Structure 1
């Protein structure tokens, strides 16, 4: 049986918020089966619970945030991506600020935290959302699509017309039946342009951004002294974001995702298109080995989560 997962113990981290620039303390706690991922703004009185929910997504300009009652928790996508990559279904996320810390701009530090706490299988079958028919969302020349697939595969292409990005691979396919989230995706960092920083900061964004938590480019080149972590790090980060954005539906997807020039907003829109067509999806479990698709069995092998 493919089982639900949570953490074995509590783990804590401190960092800075990418957009607010404030110090943030993050505590990850185990949760019971069928809890899902629930964010808790513990700095509020009373504390506010914000469950992962595509209909609670707000502020998709530069990140994915959740909003409830006028209060927010932003930049959830990198943590959500790590949870999806390691197959963690149930978790309490305590945070004392309006956003999750950016750490190094990738999901790598979250993977380290989660693996340090230990991953525990629970006595409940993992629930998947299986896409049964293709759905698509378009805005001009940007588009995103989900199609039936017995596993989870993502194909992404980007166009930036920037020499540093164009010199790398600008399209990629990642299939988790064959590739590792931890090795092949998790360390890809967010990226931005020096010329955008001033305008972003004028509207209260990127106040905590630096070369320590993003790939930064001027008009011609990457400014980070250590260069890129992957030859295709830019498009890999878009895949990383998409994994986190899609996991806000509450279940791991069984689907082939493909996108061109998409971002957080389109990823959220495709989830809404999917959920609103009740014939396009179903929730399934695999309680017997014989019924488990081979790609799912490989991705969620019980021996070592996500590696």
Structure 2
């Protein structure tokens, strides 16, 4: 296990929301241990905890809300905080959507690393999946399986398009996220943009913050950052959605053509089935649980 962390310096960011098109300013501040990740809508003076019960919409992104007040498109920022082991902070935001920046987590990673970190006294609790949780829906699949690490195996399929089929597998930690996932940008099909904008979505989207795909390839001047950037971005989104558990997750997440809604349902099903996981609150407790589950060899006595 590890100790909780917060940032050392304040982070300030300005940008636009990819769906609302509205300008937004964000200030991320350090917070005391056990605070968690909390959004503060400064224009309304309302605090919204980043947790499963506050997820109110999963249409093309993840939205948190309380009493009709929202913070939209939180997944890229939450993925960055989770992967970099930043457990406690107050995110002060003066509008309803987190800025999209370049469509990836790269800018968040850069800013958070520059802010540096402070280790706190209390341990970060661990959620260890002990029983498989699976959802199948209309040709899509998502699951959490028991695993001593946080591992992701993801596959996507857009038959008949430039994207085609892609898959990727990764053990998630700070370094792997920064190197292999953080720069992957959000993407969409050119044919879908008009429909989205007619439904008040993607109003702030552009070639500066998304990879746009037509029948022949990408229309962006900048090349892909990874050969399989599309599936890597889906992994980025999944990390953000799973981070809402507010624990260090030890599980193997497997997905085929999943998205924000299936991720939300998966987390809900997990939390409702108390026999599907164990919560670990201290290193001593961790050793006891792992030994009871048969993860430890009595002759070794450690992970």
TM, length-normalised to structure 1? 0.90
Specify which of 259, 264, 272 is matched with residue 263 of structure 1.
259
Alignment-derived partner of residue 48 in structure 1:
46
Is residue 275 from structure 1 mapped to residue 271 from structure 2 by the alignment?
Answer: yes
After TM superposition, where is structure 1 displaced by more than 6 Å over at least 4 residues in a row? Answer: none
Q: Is 2:161 the partner of 1:148?
A: no
Matches of 1:240 and 1:110, distance apart in 2: 13
Q: Deviations over 1:178-202 (max 9, x none)?
A: 9611001100000001111111011
Work out the CA distance in 2 between the residues paired with 1:60 and 1:130: 25
Residue of structure 1 equivalent to 2:14: 14
Return closer, same or farther for 1:216/1:273 CA change in 2, 3 Å cut-off.
same
Q: How does 1:177-256 map to 2 (within 5 A)?
A: 180-256=176-252
Query: Quick one: distance in 1 between partners of 2:29 and 2:92?
Result: 8
Separation in 2 of the partners of 1:69 and 1:160? 37
- Aligned-pair RMSD on alpha carbons? 1.8
Distance 1:65 1:82, change over 3 A: same
User: How big is the shift at 1:291?
Assistant: 4.4
Which structure has the larger Rg? 2
Deviation by residue 1:139-164 (Cα, 9 ceiling, x = unmatched):
12111100111110000110112432
Residues 118 and 80 of structure 1: CA distance in aligned 2, closer, same or farther (over 3 Å)? same
Residues 12-161 of structure 1: pairs in structure 2 closer than 5 A: 12-44=12-44, 47-161=45-159
Kept after mapping to 2: 8 A contact 1:142/1:262? yes
The structural deviation recorded for 1:123 is 1.1
Residues 282-301 of structure 1: matches in 2 within 5 Å? 282-287=278-283, 291=287
Task: Report the Cα distance in structure 2 between the residues aligned to 1:135 and 1:115, rounded to whole angstroms.
Answer: 34
2:163 to 159, 162, 165: 165
TM-score relative to the length of structure 2: 0.91
**Could you tell me whether the CA contact under 8 Å between 2:83 and 2:174 is conserved in 1?**
no
1:283–1:257 distance in 2 versus 1, CA, 3 Å: same
Query: Residues of 2 paired with 1:52 and 1:283: CA distance?
Result: 19
SS in 1 for 2:162: helix
Segments of 5+ residues of structure 2 without an aligned counterpart are 291-303
> Are residues 9 and 170 of structure 1, via their aligned partners in 2, closer, same or farther at CA, if it must alter by over 3 Å?
same
Q: How many residues align?
A: 289
